[in-house]
Structure 1
Amino acid sequence: MKNTKLNLSLLCGSGIVLLLACGEHKKKYTAPKEKQIVANVRELDEVVKESITERLSLISDNDGILEDSLPAFRPQALQDFYKEHENKAEWSDHGKMHPAADSMMEWIARADEYGLLPKQYHANTLTKVWSQLRDDAAAKKDAALWAKADILLSDAFMKMTSDLHYGPGPRDSVTFRTDSLFPDKFLKDKLRAVVADGNISAAFEGLEPTHPGYIALKEGIKSFKDKYEGQSWDTLPLNYTDTIGFRQLLANRLVQGQYLDTAGKVVDTTMIKAAVKAFQNEFNIYADGVAGKRTVMALNRTPADWLMQAGINMDRWRKLPDTMPREYIMVNVPGYTMRVIDSGEVMLESRVIVGAPRTRTPLLNSYMTNVVLFPYWRVPYSIVFKEMLPAIKRNVGYLASKNLEVINKDGEAVDPNTIDWNKLSKDHFPYVLRQMDGVDNSLGIMKFNFRNKYSVYLHDTNNRGLFKNSMRAMSHGCVRVQQWDSLSQYLVRMDTTQHRGDSIKAWIARGEKKQVDLTRRLPIYLRYFTAEGRDGKLIFFDDIYGEDKVLRREMKYN
Structure 2
Amino acid sequence: MRLLFYLLLAWGLAATSTNSTQARALLLANEQAQNTLTVVPPAALSNIQRLLLDTVASAGLRSLQWYNQRATRAFYTQRHYAPAWSAGQQLNEAGEVALALLRKAEDYGLQADNYHMPALQALTKALAQPADSARARAQSARLDVLLTDGLLRFVLHLRRGQLRELTPSPLEEADSAFVPAAWVANALAGPDFAAELLRCQPQQREYQELQQALVRWRKRPTKPQDSVRIRRAQQLALTLERWRWQAIPDTNYVLVNLPAYALEVVERDSVLQTHRLVIGKPESPTPTLSSRLKVFTLTPEWRVPYSIATEEILPKLRDNPRYAARHNYSIYNAKGELIDPKKVDWWDVRKKKFNYTIRQNPGPGNALGSVIFRFRNPYEVFLHATYDTRDFKRPYRALGHGCMRMENPMSLVSYLMRDDSVQTKLPTEAELAAAPVPRRITLERAMPLHVRYATCAVVAGQLRFYADVYNKDEELRQQLFGSLKAF
- TM class by smaller structure: 0.7 to 0.9
Query: Are 1:182 and 2:215 an aligned pair?
Result: no
Partner residue in 2 for 1:53:
50
Cα distance between partner residues in 2 of 1:372 and 1:445:
8
Partner residue in 1 for 2:469:
544
Partner residue in 2 for 1:120:
114
Partner residue in 1 for 2:208:
215
Cα distance between partner residues in 2 of 1:122 and 1:113:
17
Query: Are 1:442 and 2:439 an aligned pair?
Result: no
Q: For 1:464, which of 380, 389, 400 is the aligned residue?
A: 389
Q: Secondary structure at the match of 2:353?
A: coil
Query: Are 1:72 and 2:53 an aligned pair?
Result: no
Partner residue in 2 for 1:42:
none
Q: Secondary structure at the match of 1:456?
A: coil
Partner residue in 1 for 2:240:
311
- CA, structure 1 residues 54+107, in 2 after alignment: closer, same or farther (shift >3 Å)? closer
Cα distance between partner residues in 1 of 2:350 and 2:333:
15
Query: Are 1:425 and 2:350 an aligned pair?
Result: yes
* Paired letter, 2:442: L
Q: For 2:224, which of 212, 225, 232 is the aligned residue?
A: 232
* Paired letter, 2:116: H
- CA, structure 1 residues 483+82, in 2 after alignment: closer, same or farther (shift >3 Å)? same
Q: What do residues 258-279 of structure 1 show as CA deviations (whole Å, max 9, x unaligned)?
A: xxxxxxxxxxxxxxxxxxxxxx
* Paired letter, 1:511: A
RMSD (Å), alpha carbons: 3.8
Q: What do residues 492-527 of structure 1 show as CA deviations (whole Å, max 9, x unaligned)?
A: 4444635225x3457326333231413322332222
Cα distance between partner residues in 2 of 1:374 and 1:419:
29
Cα distance between partner residues in 1 of 2:452 and 2:119:
37
Aligned residues: 432
After superposition, where does 1:74-473 map in structure 2 within 5 Å?
A: 75-83=69-77, 90-92=84-86, 94-134=88-128, 141=135, 145-170=139-164, 175=170, 177-179=172-174, 181-183=177-179, 186-187=182-183, 189-190=185-186, 193=189, 200-201=193-194, 203-204=196-197, 206-228=199-221, 230-234=222-226, 299=228, 301-316=230-245, 319-321=247-249, 324-325=250-251, 327-393=252-318, 396=321, 399=324, 402-473=327-398
Q: Secondary structure at the match of 2:374?
A: strand
Cα distance between partner residues in 2 of 1:173 and 1:406:
47
Q: Which runs of 5+ in 2 are unaligned?
A: 1-42, 57-62
Q: Secondary structure at the match of 2:220?
A: helix
Q: Secondary structure at the match of 1:518?
A: strand
- CA, structure 1 residues 201+446, in 2 after alignment: closer, same or farther (shift >3 Å)? closer
Asked whether the 8 Å contact 2:392–2:407 carries over to 1, the reply is: yes
Cα distance between partner residues in 2 of 1:103 and 1:498:
54
Cα distance between partner residues in 1 of 2:268 and 2:421:
22
Q: Secondary structure at the match of 2:355?
A: coil
Q: Which moves more between the two structures, 488-497 or 331-340?
A: 488-497
Partner residue in 2 for 1:513:
437
- CA, structure 1 residues 336+144, in 2 after alignment: closer, same or farther (shift >3 Å)? same
Q: 1:108 Cα shift?
A: 0.9
Q: 1:215 Cα shift?
A: 2.7
Q: Secondary structure at the match of 2:380?
A: coil
Asked whether the 8 Å contact 2:278–2:404 carries over to 1, the reply is: yes
Percent identity over the alignment is 28
Q: 1:481 Cα shift?
A: 0.5
- CA, structure 1 residues 555+411, in 2 after alignment: closer, same or farther (shift >3 Å)? same
Q: 1:90 Cα shift?
A: 4.4
Q: Secondary structure at the match of 1:162?
A: helix
- CA, structure 1 residues 367+135, in 2 after alignment: closer, same or farther (shift >3 Å)? same
Cα distance between partner residues in 2 of 1:165 and 1:95:
31
TM-score (norm 1): 0.66
Cα distance between partner residues in 1 of 2:134 and 2:225:
39
Asked whether the 8 Å contact 1:371–1:447 carries over to 2, the reply is: yes
Cα distance between partner residues in 2 of 1:131 and 1:304:
30
Cα distance between partner residues in 1 of 2:281 and 2:98:
45
Asked whether the 8 Å contact 2:183–2:197 carries over to 1, the reply is: no
* Paired letter, 1:434: R
Q: 1:79 Cα shift?
A: 1.9
Q: 1:173 Cα shift?
A: 9.5
